[in-house]
């Protein structure tokens, strides 16, 4: 049976503010104040360090990062360190896994499947790589995955490289993978031409709806904040 939820499409947002929003939405979903909600956005340049990560995987100085305008955040998602920035499509589902067999591994595979199907519609054959999360094209990662689950409600999600500044990945050991044979790539690098960001976002939303069996209704950030504020006042 198809579940109904909300879709919040934002622009380029500061990571810390969206991290806080995710925490609030996760709590509201656990309390059944809101239905499932999926967020699509870009972030200002930043590195985020997951539960298995550390600052030792940053290869440049704090002063250099400040010069580049790249911030660093510690977060509670799974995984190591990764980069977010303009040109990268980020998807944060806040879903109650009670409706997905309470299987975190199945959920992760479904998120990867969403990415694989999205890339396929643009002519890119992508897949999984054993022992490495995310989605790959050959030996290069094109999409990262890092999730968290609290009381069976998800947070964080996936990030697809459409046209980010790939040089920024050289400032870290992405996802803790230091093997010289593995790298990072993007849709535009593979295809050799400009990719319509809005079209990729539309396609990923469609594929996510199909894979997760979700019917998503558009909602604004004001709508979301009003719902959260209303819940606090009850």
Q: In this structure, what DSSP letter does residue 58 have?
A: B
* Those residues with Cβ within 8 angstroms of residue 1's Cβ, 6 or more apart along the chain or in another chain: 213
pLDDT for the residue 232: 63
pLDDT for the residue 165: 93
pLDDT for the residue 42: 98
What domains, with CATH codes, occur in the chain? 3-233 (3.30.930.10)
Q: Is 213 left (phi over 0), alpha (psi -120 to 50) or beta?
A: left
d(C-alpha 163, C-alpha 101), whole Å: 35
Contact 117, 105 (CB under 8 A): no
If one counts every other C-beta atom within 10 angstroms of the C-beta of residue 103, the result is 11
pLDDT (tens digit per residue) in 138-168: 999 999 999 999 999 999 999 999 999 999 9
- By DSSP bridging, strand 71-74 and strand 46-49 are parallel
Closest listed residue to residue 15, CA positions, set 78, 84, 87:
84
Active centre residues (catalytic): 175
One pLDDT digit (tens) per residue for the chain, 234 residues: 788 999 999 999 999 999 999 999 999 999 999 999 999 999 999 999 887 667 778 888 889 989 999 999 888 886 778 899 999 999 999 999 987 778 999 999 999 999 999 999 999 999 998 878 899 999 999 999 999 999 999 999 999 999 999 999 888 876 555 544 568 999 999 999 999 999 999 999 999 999 999 999 999 999 998 988 866 655
pLDDT for the residue 196: 98
Helix (H) or strand (E) holding 215: strand 214-218
């Amino acid at each position: 049976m198809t579940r109904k939820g909300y879709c919040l499409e934002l622009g380029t947002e500061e990571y810390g503010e969206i991290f806080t929003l995710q925490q609030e939405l996760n709590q509201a979903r656990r309390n059944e104040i809101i239905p499932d909600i999926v967020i699509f956005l870009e972030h200002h340049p930043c590195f985020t360090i997951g539960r298995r990560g550390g600052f030792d995987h940053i290869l440049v100085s704090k002063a250099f990062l400040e010069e580049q305008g790249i911030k660093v955040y510690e977060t509670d998602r799974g995984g190591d360190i990764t980069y977010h920035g303009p040109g990268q499509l980020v998807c944060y589902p806040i879903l109650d896994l009670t409706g997905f067999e309470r299987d975190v591994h199945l959920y992760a595979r479904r998120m990867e499947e969403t990415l694989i199907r999205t890339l396929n519609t643009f002519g890119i054959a992508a897949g999984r790589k054993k022992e490495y999360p995310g989605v790959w094209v050959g030996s290069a990662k094109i999409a990262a995955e890092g999730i968290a689950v609290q009381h069976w409600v998800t947070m964080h999600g996936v990030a697809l490289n459409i046209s980010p500044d790939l040089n920024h990945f050289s400032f870290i050991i992405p996802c803790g993978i230091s093997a010289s044979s593995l790298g990072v790539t993007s849709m535009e690098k593979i295809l050799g031409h400009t990719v319509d960001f809005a079209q990729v976002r539309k396609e990923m939303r469609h594929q996510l709806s199909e894979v997760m069996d979700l019917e998503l209704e558009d909602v604004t950030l004001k709508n979301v904040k009003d719902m959260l504020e209303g819940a606090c006042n009850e």
